[in-house]
Amino acid sequence: MTRTFQLTPLDTNSAAELRQEGGTAYVADTHPGFPCRQCLRDADVGDELLLVSHDPFSTNSPYRSASPIFIHRHDCGAPITDVMPEQLTRRLLSVRAFNEDEIMIDAAVIDGADLEDTLARFLDNDETDHVHVHNAHRGCWATAVTRDPSCDDPTKTAAVQMQESELCHTVMAH
Domain boundaries, the chain: 5-173
Q: For the chain, how far is it from start to end, CA to CA, in angstroms? A: 22
State pLDDT tens for residues 154-173: 554 444 443 443 334 344 33
Q: Is 46 helix (H, G, I), strand (E, B) or coil?
A: coil
Residues of the chain with pLDDT under 50: 1-3, 156-174
Q: Is the pTM of this model over 0.85?
A: no
53-58 CB contacts, 8 Å cutoff, 24+ apart:
53/23, 54/10, 54/14, 54/18, 54/141, 56/132, 56/141, 56/144, 57/102, 58/102
Q: What is the pLDDT of residue 155?
A: 52
pLDDT score of 103: 97
Specify the pLDDT at position 39: 95
Task: State the DSSP H helix or E strand holding residue 110, giving kind and residue range, or none if neither.
Answer: strand 104-111
pLDDT value, residue 106: 98
Which whole-number Å values give the CA distances from 113 to 72, 73, 84, 108, 158, in the listed order? 25, 29, 9, 13, 32
Phi and psi at 74, nearest 5°, equal: -115, 155
